[in-house]
Amino acid sequence: MAIALDPRLYRDADWYQRERVSVWSDQWLMFCSETEVASDGSYVAADIADFPVLVARRPGGDLVGFLNVCPHRAGPILWPGSGVTGNLVCRYHGWAFNWRGDLVSARDFGESTELCPEQRILTPVDVATWCGMVFVRIRRGETDLFSDLGGLTEIVGRFPVDRFRFVRRMVRTLECNWKTYVDNYLEGYHVQLIHPSLTRALDMRTYRVSVPEPGYCHHTCDTTEGSPSGGAWLFRYPNLALNIYADGMNVERIIPVGRDRTHVVYDYYSESATQADIEAMVSMSNVVLDEDQAMCEQVQRGLDSGTYRGGPLSPKHEIAVAWFQDRLRAEVH
Ligand code: FES
Ligand SMILES: [Fe+2]
């Protein structure tokens, strides 16, 4: 029987640093919506697991991505957030970089011997787009995003995602480790206990979770009217949930902010939602998120209590939890 992850791994500082290297540096991670970086010079700067990252649209050209850490004394090239910039000039002492990340001017630096190459360049990250979303990979790698996503793209391709537009973002801060929230997302075992509105809408007897490939899991459930929900709920390792329907989708990212705090970022995409539709979607997910947040924060206290050892995982309901935790055990060194 699968056994839940050692609770110490939900608060251990050294393990978190190892996750940053083994999980957060090497995976393609959804970073922002393509519409946020559509115009020349538009950018998004944000942290993922304490890696400051920026993605920008080079004027007249493609997307570029760098660590948002100046090689001089670690200042930000762009303040976290989004906007439009005409150049990449460090906010601290004004070193200027071109759109390839090469230093073009070290402002008023004074006489010096030649700077060595790593002092003259922003560290690049991989950038790619899929389905209106921009992904980054912090440590540059070989595999391209599309082949890395595998069979998940085929499931998403059954929906008219090309017609969906980014309409709203909601960000929550949870006082728990990122894995506490992911574990919770990966099982429907708790739905009847803490989500009354979902329980009314779904026929929980038909709730199924499968792991078709090592990279993602798939939840399915019929609605209470007996009709299939017509949607796909997918979770891509390590932190991306795609909830897709015929007329829109919401994309949920679970982002560590240190080892004991987590951002849950919800992006709503829709084909034709009115303002009222958007408000309804947001308030519905707020209700469910309130319920999950209260539980995850309480579970975190249980994990932190020093009284819990890692219990058995249900072979009926928690196979995706076992899958996720097995990957972490195998990959974090
Ligand atoms: S830290 Fe960037 S110019 Fe000094
Ligand atoms: Fe939940």
Residue 54 lies in a domain: yes
The string of DSSP letters for 29-70 reads: EEEEEGGGG-STTEEEEEEETTEEEEEEE-TTS-EEEEES--
pLDDT at position 108 is 92
Q: Is 150 in the pocket of ligand 1 (CB under 6 A)?
A: no
Residues 133-169 have pLDDT tens digits of 999 999 999 999 999 999 999 999 999 999 999 999 9
Q: Which residue's CA lies nearest to atom 3 of ligand 1? A: 93
pLDDT at position 78 is 98
pLDDT at position 119 is 86
pLDDT at position 227 is 62
| CATH value at residue 123 | 2.102.10.10
To test the ligand 1 pocket, which listed residue (66, 78, 95) has its Cβ within 8 A of the most ligand atoms?
Answer: 95
Residue 18 lies in a domain: no
Residue 231 lies in a domain: yes
Considering the domain architecture, whether residues 193 and 324 belong to the same structural domain is answered as yes
Considering the domain architecture, whether residues 88 and 161 belong to the same structural domain is answered as no
pLDDT at position 229 is 62
Considering the domain architecture, whether residues 155 and 291 belong to the same structural domain is answered as yes
* Domain-terminating residue out of 140, 173, 189: 140
To test the ligand 1 pocket, which listed residue (66, 69, 88, 93) has its Cβ within 8 A of the most ligand atoms?
Answer: 93
Which residues span the domain enclosing 176? Answer: 150-331
Q: Is 109 in the pocket of ligand 1 (CB under 6 A)?
A: no
pLDDT at position 225 is 74
pLDDT at position 262 is 98
CA 58 to centroid of ligand 1, rounded, Å: 21
pLDDT at position 226 is 62
Domain count, the chain: 2
Q: For the chain, which residues score pLDDT lower than 50?
A: none
* Domain-terminating residue out of 140, 174, 202: 140
Residues 16-29 have pLDDT tens digits of 999 999 999 999 99
Which atom of ligand 1 lies at the shortest distance from residue 90's CA? Answer: 2
Long-range own/partner contacts, residues 298-301 (CB < 8 A, 24 or more apart) = 299/176, 299/180, 299/184, 300/10, 300/175, 300/176, 300/177, 300/180, 300/260
> What is the Cβ-side half-sphere exposure of residue 119, based on CA atoms within 13 angstroms?
9
